[in-house]
Chains A and B, each alone.
Chain A
Amino acid sequence: MNSIARPLLAILAMALPAAAEPAKSAAPPAKPPAPVHAAEPAPAVRDPAKGPARRLEPAPTNGAYHVSERSRLSIEPAEHAITRLSIENPLGDVKVEGYDGSAIQIETHKFAPDDDALDRLHISLVPNPDGTVAIKTTADGGKEVRPVTRGAVRIDLVIRAPRDARVEAAVSSGRLEVVDMDAGSDLDTGSGPISVRNVQGEVLTHSVSGMTRLAQVFGSVDAQTLSSDLDLDTIGGERLIASVHHGRIDGRRVRARDVELTATDGRIRLEAEAALRGHLVVSAFRGDVDVQLRRHGAVLVRARGTKVELGAPAQVQPNGWVIASLGGSAPPAETALVEIRAPQGNVTFSIIESRP
């Protein structure tokens, strides 16, 4: 058998580069995930010491959960590195944490009112040879099952992934959190909050009504929410585009070259650094706009609103724009441009730090 064992290892690693270490937890679920051990050299092996143990669960919030089950899983890359992680979990939270390893380690935690309901909750994995690993949670249906409401069941996923894998994740009302990743992410929630911290690359976030927080993001950011606030802290890179429909935008330590913040119904506060030759466009239809700028060179500001305060001598144009030039004269190509609109609100602009 040994003569075929090695080739088979490779084949199986390609076809099934995953193995589970499930452990229906015998302890309260709040424990941090234990290290997951993957077998060498190829498909990981279950840890036989971890037996199944389903337990009565203290009800977390609404008193609906009574049993829980915790599983761990490790996916070793086969021939190709894992480059993309696609996650769809409409039943709970997702946290993705980057680390310096090559495997994907997944901890799943299911909650349900009883064993039958717990058995209806499933997590599927689809490892693809192109380096994508797709994770999806579902609940079984059928006429024979006893109905259980959505609020009564839950699956939370905590995933440790190689830093250089791109994360594409969608949740519904659960929390979606991505930290310490280097290849960007595409995140989508319904009412669940989004939190992104220490991530590089192209970051896209969309939420209907989940609070969105982005911190320490370096790259290209595009964030959009319909009815929630948007918090931006320490954003750098080429581009930051963010919009809310009903909600507020708060930005601090923003250093992107091109910034475009838009709110239909809500105020915007921004503390930013004007990049050389950068563009900063801040617009709120119904709401005030307050921009505080750290600048390195010449800045041309133009603003329009019911009341405009630029903190410097300004000219009022016939078309309603108020224009001020700060930081001396410079060729247009080297001048940072700031454009602020608040047609039904006030505009406040100030320089908080000036460097030549």
Chain B
Amino acid sequence: MTTCDSIVSQLTAYLDGELADDDGSAVRGHLRECAACRQLARDEAALRDALRVLPPVDPPATLWAGVQAQLAAAEVADARTPRWRRAIARWMPRFRAAWLPSMPQLAVAGLLAVAGVSALYWRTHRGDELATTDLPRLPMPEIQTPHREPAAAPAAALTTRSDDVTAELAAEPARVTGSYGEVIDELTRLAEEARGSWSDERKAAFDGRLAALAATVAQAQDGRPRQRAQRSMIRFLQGAVVRDEVVLASGGSR
């Protein structure tokens, strides 16, 4: 008599085509009659298909670091646990679960999960003869693992031709920064023209604020961070020139 439990334990081997003829026939027969097991087999096949089309994944470094940290924490916890409790925990897992921290279990589970991913990946990629469904290996956009910054734009240095798209893309941030810089220069000139009518306090406030903003621009990283700082500077200069507005050291404005 074939039971659902026995089918579940043989399902992977069956889908891999590893069961002997009579065993495979028994599984096949059960699946014809049992909707629940049939659905289970379908889900598993779908999972395998999905895994097959995914690119290889390197576990992120943070995962290993986390596992190591958890193992270290578990060892420290073990060291601080009385010998008698460790002995009980070793022989009576239920007591252990209730009395001791679950960190070791989490760490081991993490390692097992990674090992499981690797094993499953290997199983699903080792040969087309094991495939339950033939899915074409299609090109797809690169999918990177979490916690990783997007790949940097191809370095211009790799391309010797300045008219190549990579060189043009690499030059783009500097071009935008230059455009912002030109506007800052223009507004600074306008501010210089306007400051003749300003009070000394206002001049001092303007100069101080402008110097602080200029320092922020100079210290900012190239690209967007610097452009953000430049935009703040432009806003300030526009306020001073167009709206005749400068926050004074005394707390007032204008």
Q: Which residues of A line the B interface, CB within 8 A? A: 1-2, 4-5, 7-9, 11-12, 14-16, 18-20, 22, 24, 39, 43-46, 48, 50-52, 71, 73, 88, 90-91, 106, 108, 120, 122-129, 134, 136, 138-143, 145, 147-150, 152-153, 170, 172, 188, 190, 206, 208-209, 224, 226-227, 243, 245, 262-264, 281, 283-285, 341, 343
Are B158 and A142 interface neighbours, CB within 8 A? yes
Cα distance A283–B243 when bound, in Å?
6
Contact check: which of A88, A147, A243 meets B150 at CB < 8 Å?
Answer: A88
**Beta-carbon contacts under 8 Å, B105-148 to A:** 113, 116-117, 120, 123, 133-136, 138-148
* Cβ of B226 to closest chain A Cβ, rounded Å: 13
Q: Is B40 an interface residue when CB atoms closer than 8 A count as contact?
A: yes
Are B151 and A143 interface neighbours, CB within 8 A? no
Cα distance A15–B62 when bound, in Å?
12
Cα distance A4–B117 when bound, in Å?
9
Are A341 and B50 interface neighbours, CB within 8 A? no
Contact check: which of A73, A143, A281 meets B243 at CB < 8 Å?
Answer: A281
Cα distance A343–B190 when bound, in Å?
13
Task: Name the CB-closest residue of A to B16.
Answer: A1
**Beta-carbon contacts under 8 Å, B17-75 to A:** 40, 43-44, 46-47, 49-51, 53-54, 57, 60
Which residues of chain B come closer than 8 Å to A136, judged between CB atoms? 150-151
Which residues of chain A come closer than 8 Å to B156, judged between CB atoms? 141
A-B interface pairs (CB < 8 A), number:
212
Which residues of chain B come closer than 8 Å to A128, judged between CB atoms? 146-147
Chain-A contact segment, one of B84-92, B95-103, B161-169, B206-214: B161-169
* Cβ of B14 to closest chain A Cβ, rounded Å: 10
Cα distance A52–B163 when bound, in Å?
30
Cα distance A227–B178 when bound, in Å?
13
* Cβ of A251 to closest chain B Cβ, rounded Å: 17
Are B190 and A45 interface neighbours, CB within 8 A? no
Which residues of chain A come closer than 8 Å to B133, judged between CB atoms? 48
Are B176 and A190 interface neighbours, CB within 8 A? yes
Known A-B contacts A125-B141, A226-B183; A285 and B241 likewise in contact (beta carbons under 8 Å): yes
Contact check: which of B51, B134, B158 meets A143 at CB < 8 Å?
Answer: B158
Q: Which residues of B line the A interface, CB within 8 A? A: 8, 11-12, 15, 40, 43-44, 46-47, 49-51, 53-54, 57, 60, 113, 116-117, 120, 123, 133-136, 138-151, 153-156, 158-161, 163-169, 172, 175-176, 179-180, 183, 186-187, 190, 224, 227, 231, 234-235, 238-239, 241-244
Are B142 and A1 interface neighbours, CB within 8 A? no
Are A19 and B50 interface neighbours, CB within 8 A? yes
Task: Name the CB-closest residue of A to B169.
Answer: A90
16 additional A-B pairs beyond A5-B47, A143-B160, A264-B242, beta carbons within 8 Å, are A2-B43, A2-B44, A11-B113, A12-B51, A14-B146, A15-B145, A20-B143, A48-B136, A51-B138, A71-B141, A124-B142, A125-B142, A138-B169, A141-B158, A145-B164, A147-B163
Known A-B contacts A7-B113, A43-B50; A22 and B139 likewise in contact (beta carbons under 8 Å): yes
Are A122 and B141 interface neighbours, CB within 8 A? yes
Cα distance A160–B78 when bound, in Å?
50
Task: Name the CB-closest residue of B to A284.
Answer: B242
Cα distance A7–B175 when bound, in Å?
49
Known A-B contacts A15-B57, A124-B151, A170-B224; A226 and B180 likewise in contact (beta carbons under 8 Å): yes
Task: Name the CB-closest residue of A to B142.
Answer: A124
Contact check: which of B123, B145, B238 meets A262 at CB < 8 Å?
Answer: B238
Interface centre among A126, A140, A141, A224 (most CB of B within 10 A): A141
Cα distance A220–B243 when bound, in Å?
21
Known A-B contacts A20-B141, A51-B136, A224-B235; A142 and B159 likewise in contact (beta carbons under 8 Å): yes
Interface centre among B53, B54, B183 (most CB of A within 10 A): B54
Known A-B contacts A22-B140, A73-B141, A126-B148; A141 and B164 likewise in contact (beta carbons under 8 Å): yes
Contact check: which of A8, A50, A120, A149 meets B163 at CB < 8 Å?
Answer: A149
Contact check: which of B135, B158, B172 meets A48 at CB < 8 Å?
Answer: B135
Which residues of chain A come closer than 8 Å to B243, judged between CB atoms? 262, 281, 283, 341
Which residues of chain B come closer than 8 Å to A125, judged between CB atoms? 141-144
Task: Name the CB-closest residue of A to B120.
Answer: A8
Are A8 and B161 interface neighbours, CB within 8 A? no
Which residues of chain A come closer than 8 Å to B40, judged between CB atoms? 2
Cα distance A134–B54 when bound, in Å?
18
7 closest Cβ pairs, A-B complex: A1-B12, A20-B140, A141-B166, A141-B154, A147-B161, A147-B164, A141-B159
